[in-house]
Chains A and B, each alone.
Chain A
């Protein structure tokens, strides 16, 4: 049980950082950006190369990488996605898809197809009861526990934060009351990309940097975003936690009571949990558990 909680907390942390950004940007730009999840491996690989080629320590490399990722996200939004968005949500969606493919290909060309590990010394984990938690996992939970409140504090108590929320709820009214929606869009994209980058670095520390990191994150992150309600980052965090719990609980439960003997869900079906949540939410309540306006056909 403890292990399920630990694993869920780590997974929830990683998913939240990425989903929070997606939720906010999706609410503002009004189209799904499937390239968003690619900011995670980008930041991860940039960190890796900064440590190897520039000889930086892990922390400065990570900060550099996160900033660079934010700028990249900003650039893509300003010069590519925004242009496509004027032709409709569908066009923009396919455009983000194209960018996604290019990013994966570039990473593969530069870094090669084999996974890379960020230089973290291998240490045994700490035992808590019958569960184990590693140093890195503690770090991940701690960093997220600090970052997310900072982010929400910014969103709710600062002027730019309030402007962002205004644009997310009603862009025309926000524009009319003098808010520069274009600047807000850019700010949001920048922050969202940085958060996703942080999530990717943490994920890389926990496991390793892999080409498919983005692809593996896509559906769970979208599930968390939609379930929490698009444009509702707090909802995204709650949804991410629920999905993480569901994934790990589904694997941890012994269904032996039902079918006799020992019966566990095959580990390979873990991603299916996220998929099912997504499908169910989209069918039954597409505006999400905490969402406001429903988007129907």
Chain B
């Protein structure tokens, strides 16, 4: 092509480059995406302190991601209503992880390079949280895990904190409950990723340690629309209970197809994180199902629940919003305590606060690896569209 065409192409390309580079504003939490963005692209510039969050607003866990966003939103409102942090307003820039590690890392890059946040909250799936946390650790930034429970999360590093308890505790609780109630042969189905394999490994260890037997472990590939073959596999070995854990959309397909195959009537199902598993399920498919889930206790739990209901006109969509809420509150408290937005100092302050913190999800105490050392759980039953405590 001639020189003029070449030059105009170069001009067009350069303009595109400048346009995409000159962004200092991002979608913020504190309203819907349609609200104007608030300014500031450095951690404590002007009158706002910016934190970051990478959560699954799209993908299989979109329902939960949205709920996490709500927890963040409520925390930001509460903090700013009480005077903010270090005399400034707090703002959490929320990015969509898309449910995959690669796009979560992309989002994290944007948050850390373009927005310069000192703390990033996220994600939900262990398969995403772990690479995200590892990246943040490498960058020397604080990571707060609010949804993942794989035991591998504990190995991310000294700057990574979890407001949610890991699977080692959850599986132990499940195994003990099932054993206590006479079940001896369990089949297990969970997603084929760090979370699922974490659940599978920890449950197997706990259940077999009590004298039970795991007849079959099936790790299903996420994102498919047909799981009948996987479900057929669970029959082998005649289990007396099927333990499962699945995210939103896949859980819907799994439970519906199990119902169609008559599998849910033939063998009782027990869910790990019942609210997550039933969030998108067809009510007929999960009626009467038992499962364990995290429990809200704590002096602030009720007022949080009320604030949630008032703002969103419904009861908790999932049980995961509270952890995101607690994370933002703790991060703000840490910044206030450290009187600084330097990641290292925030981390040190978090450790201090985390010795004993009253969160809406209960008492939070970090262990030596900054993981929540104790987690209240409950056994619930899905009845008529709601989760009630099982007797």
Q: Do chains A and B touch in the complex (CB under 8 A)?
A: yes
Residue ranges of A at the interface with B (Cβ–Cβ < 8 Å) = 3, 7, 112-115, 117, 122-125, 127, 132, 134, 206-208, 210, 212-213, 248, 251, 262, 264, 267-268, 270
The answer, among A113, A208, A251, A270, for a CB contact under 8 Å with B62, is A113
Q: Which of A7, A122, A134 is in CB contact (< 8 Å) with B282? A: A122
Chain A: CB-nearest residue to B280: A114
Task: Report the minimal beta-carbon distance from A269 to chain B, rounded to whole angstroms.
Answer: 10
B342 at the A interface (CB under 8 A)? no
The number of A-B residue pairs with CB atoms under 8 Å apart is 57
Nearest residue in B to A126 (C-beta to C-beta)? B262
Asked whether A3 lies within 8 Å of B232 as measured between CB atoms, the reply is yes
Q: Are B230 and A267 in contact (CB under 8 A)?
A: yes
Binds A, one of B18-26, B220-228, B315-323: B220-228
Contact indicator A134/B230 (Cβ below 8 Å): no
Question: Are the C-beta atoms of A132 and B253 separated by less than 8 Å?
Answer: no
CB B335 to nearest CB in A, in angstroms, measures 34
Task: Across the interface, name the chain A residue whose C-beta is closest to B236.
Answer: A262
Extra A-B contacts (9), CB below 8 Å, given A208-B253, A251-B229: A7-B228, A112-B58, A113-B62, A124-B262, A125-B261, A127-B262, A132-B261, A206-B226, A268-B220
Q: Is the CB of B226 within 8 A of A207?
A: yes
A210 touches B225 (CB 8 A): yes
Given contacts A113-B58, A132-B261, A267-B218, contact A122 B285 (CB under 8 A): yes
With CB as the reference atom, state the residue of chain A lying closest to B99: A113
B178-234 residues at the A interface, CB under 8 angstroms: 192, 218, 220-221, 223, 225-226, 228-230, 232-233
Cβ of B40 within 8 Å of any chain A Cβ, yes or no, is no
CA distance A127 to B249 in the complex (A): 26
- What B residues does A268 contact at CB under 8 A? 192, 220-221
Q: Is the pair B260, A134 in contact by a Cβ cutoff of 8 Å?
A: yes
B135 CB-CB contact with A under 8 Å: no
B298 nearest CB across to chain A (Å): 32
**Neighbouring B residues of A207 by C-beta, 8 Å:** 225-226, 253
Choose among B221, B233, B265 the residue that contacts A264 (Cβ–Cβ < 8 A). Answer: B233
Whether A132 and B262, one on each chain, are in contact in the complex, defined by CB atoms closer than 8 angstroms, is: yes
Between-chain CB contacts (< 8 Å), 24 pairs = A3-B232, A7-B228, A7-B229, A112-B58, A113-B62, A114-B62, A114-B249, A115-B253, A122-B256, A122-B259, A122-B282, A124-B259, A124-B260, A124-B265, A127-B262, A132-B261, A132-B262, A134-B260, A207-B225, A208-B225, A248-B229, A267-B229, A267-B233, A268-B220
Question: B143 to nearest A CB, angstroms?
Answer: 26
In the complex with contacts A122-B285, A264-B233, A267-B229, A113-B259 CB distance below 8 A? no
Contacts A7-B228, A270-B229 given; does A123 touch B221 at CB 8 Å: no
The smallest C-beta distance from B86 to any residue of chain A, in angstroms, reads 38
The reply to whether A212 and B221 contact each other, CB–CB distance below 8 Å, is: no
CB distance from A16 to the nearest CB of B (A): 17
B154 CB, nearest partner CB in chain A, Å: 28
Question: In the bound complex, do residue A267 and residue B260 qualify as a contact, i.e. CB atoms below 8 Å apart?
Answer: no
Q: Which of B268-296 contact A (CB under 8 A)?
A: 282, 284-285
Residues on B facing A (Cβ under 8 Å): 58-60, 62, 192, 218, 220-221, 223, 225-226, 228-230, 232-233, 236, 249, 252-253, 256, 259-262, 265, 282, 284-285
Measured between alpha carbons, how far is A112 from B60 in the docked complex, in Å?
12
Determine the residue in chain A with the shortest Cβ distance to B285: A122
Chain B residues contacting A267 (CB-CB under 8 Å) are 218, 220-221, 229-230, 233
Closest to A137 in B: B260
Residues of A within 8 A of B265 (CB): 124
**Contact at A125–B226, with CB atoms within 8 Å?**
no
Instruction: For the complex formed, measure the closest distance between the CB of B211 and the CB atoms of chain A, giving whole angstroms.
Output: 22
Q: Which residue of A lies closest to B226 (CB)?
A: A207
List of B residues within 8 angstroms of A132 by Cβ: 260-262
Task: List chain B residues, Cβ under 8 A from A251.
Answer: 229
Is there an interface contact between A123 and B229, defined as CB atoms closer than 8 Å? no
Q: What residues of A have a CB within 8 angstroms of the CB of B226 in the complex?
A: 206-207
Give A3's nearest chain B residue, CB to CB.
B232
Give the contacting residue for A115; candidates B225, B232, B261, B285; CB below 8 A. B225
Which residues of the partner chain A approach B229 to less than 8 Å between Cβ atoms? 7, 248, 251, 267, 270
Q: In the complex, how many angstroms separate the beta carbon of A202 from the nearest chain B beta carbon? A: 13
B252 CB contacts on chain A under 8 angstroms: 117
Please give the distance in Å from B40's CB to the nearest CB on chain A. 30
Residues on the A chain within 8 Å of B221, using CB: 267-268
Candidate in A3, A117, A125, A132 with the most chain B CB atoms within 10 angstroms = A132
Closest A-B pairs by Cβ, 6 of them: A207-B225, A113-B58, A207-B226, A267-B229, A134-B260, A125-B260
CB-based nearest B residue for A210: B225
Instruction: Report the minimum CB–CB distance from A266 to chain B (whole Å).
Output: 9
Q: Is the CB of B59 within 8 A of A113?
A: yes
A122–B218 touching, CB < 8 Å: no
**C-alpha spacing A207/B223, complex, angstroms:** 12
- Min C-beta distance of A215 to chain B, whole Å: 11
Residues of B within 8 A of A208 (CB): 225, 253
Determine how close the nearest CB of chain B comes to the CB of A171; give it in whole angstroms.
Answer: 38
Contacts of A206 in B (CB 8 A): 226
- Min Cβ gap B100→A in Å is 11
Q: Tell me the bound Cα distance from A125 to B226 in angstroms.
A: 15
Residue of B nearest to A112 (CB): B58
A134–B262 Cα distance when bound, in Å, is 10
**Which chain B positions have C-beta within 8 A of A123?**
260
Q: When the two chains form the complex, which single residue of A114, A125, A213, A264 contacts B262, counting CB atoms closer than 8 Å?
A: A125
Question: With a CB–CB cut-off of 8 A, which chain B residues contact A127?
Answer: 262
Which residues of chain A have C-beta atoms less than 8 A from B261's C-beta? 125, 132
- State in angstroms the CA–CA spacing of A270 and B226 once bound together: 12
User: In the assembly, what is the distance between CA of A46 and CA of B265, in Å?
Assistant: 34
